[in-house]
Amino acid sequence: MEKLSMYFIIFIIYSFLGWVMETILCSFQEKKLVNRGFLIGPTCPIYGWGAIIISLFLTNYKNDYVVVFCLATILAGILEYFTSFAMEKIFHARWWDYSKNKFNINGRICLETMIPFGILGLIIIYILNPFFKNVLTMIPQNVVIIIAIILLVLLILDTVISLNVVSKVTKAVKNINKEERKDNTNEITEKVKTILRDTWSGKRLLDAFPKFQTIAKKVKKVANVTVEKGRKAVEKGKQVIAKEKKELKDRKD
């Protein structure tokens, strides 16, 4: 229990540090203070998960800096890619997009962001992990467990509240998709943004993910293309039949 509690606290610490880093970078880019992250609270869980995965898989390779850097880069890239994929499928929206960056994969990850994660992996393995573990071992076991429980409760509450906010995106996309006859992703995105801007939590979400874009369903588009192809095929068939009739009539004459 103590070891699990320690790892969870370390997870929260890295989630917080990731939030601090993301908030500073995003605030600098947007030239205003931005509460970065999917959750309302000061945490970016993807950094916590990344740090835990790196700690569990790469500690045994800490004698080789190059291996740690390369594997940390790959693991972070895989985590970011599948996080983007999962969030897109669940909420019908893309929260970040690297399509304009060089060496990107489906706009979900790019070399420009993966390399810094490799450097962070080195910092985690050789500097931060030893420091945090030494500090936590100095705290009484019962206190560590209590702190972990409190942080877990706060994280659960934050997740529930944040999911309720983000669910508005899913509902808005579905409703607008039903109303829109044309599959225009940009128009749908703007309408969803308008809905989100009506609340503080929704506005915060848009500020946190400035490249947010809804993923419009392509069902109607596919159906329309199929119908159009069918119509053209029928017209072509009619033309062939009419031509054959005309030729047959000319022969008789």
pLDDT, greater one: 114 or 37: 114
Per-residue pLDDT tens over the stretch 54-65: 999 998 898 999
Show Cβ contacts of residue 143 under 8 Å, excluding neighbours closer than 6 positions: none
Q: pLDDT over 70 for what percent of the chain?
A: 63
pLDDT category of residue 209 using cuts at 50, 70 and 90? low
94-125 confidence digits (pLDDT tens): 767 788 888 888 888 998 889 999 999 999 99
Domain map of the chain by residue range? 2-161, 219-253
Indicate the pTM of the whole model.
Answer: 0.70
Mean pLDDT throughout 12-33?
Answer: 86
Copy the structure tokens of residue 116.
């810094």
Q: Which of 235, 30, 229, 241 is nearest to 249 (CA)?
A: 241
Q: Which two tokens stand for residue 150?
A: 């409190």
> For residue 226, what are its two tokens?
């199929």
DSSP H helical ranges for the chain: 2-30, 45-58, 65-91, 111-123, 129-137, 141-179, 185-196, 200-208, 219-252
Q: Which of 22, 129, 115 is nearest to 73 (CA)?
A: 115
Using CA atoms, how far apart are residues 28 and 47, in angstroms rounded to an integer?
A: 20
pLDDT tens-digit profile of 68-89? Answer: 999 999 999 999 999 888 877 7
CA distances to 238, 245, 249 from 241, rounded to whole Å, are: 5, 6, 12
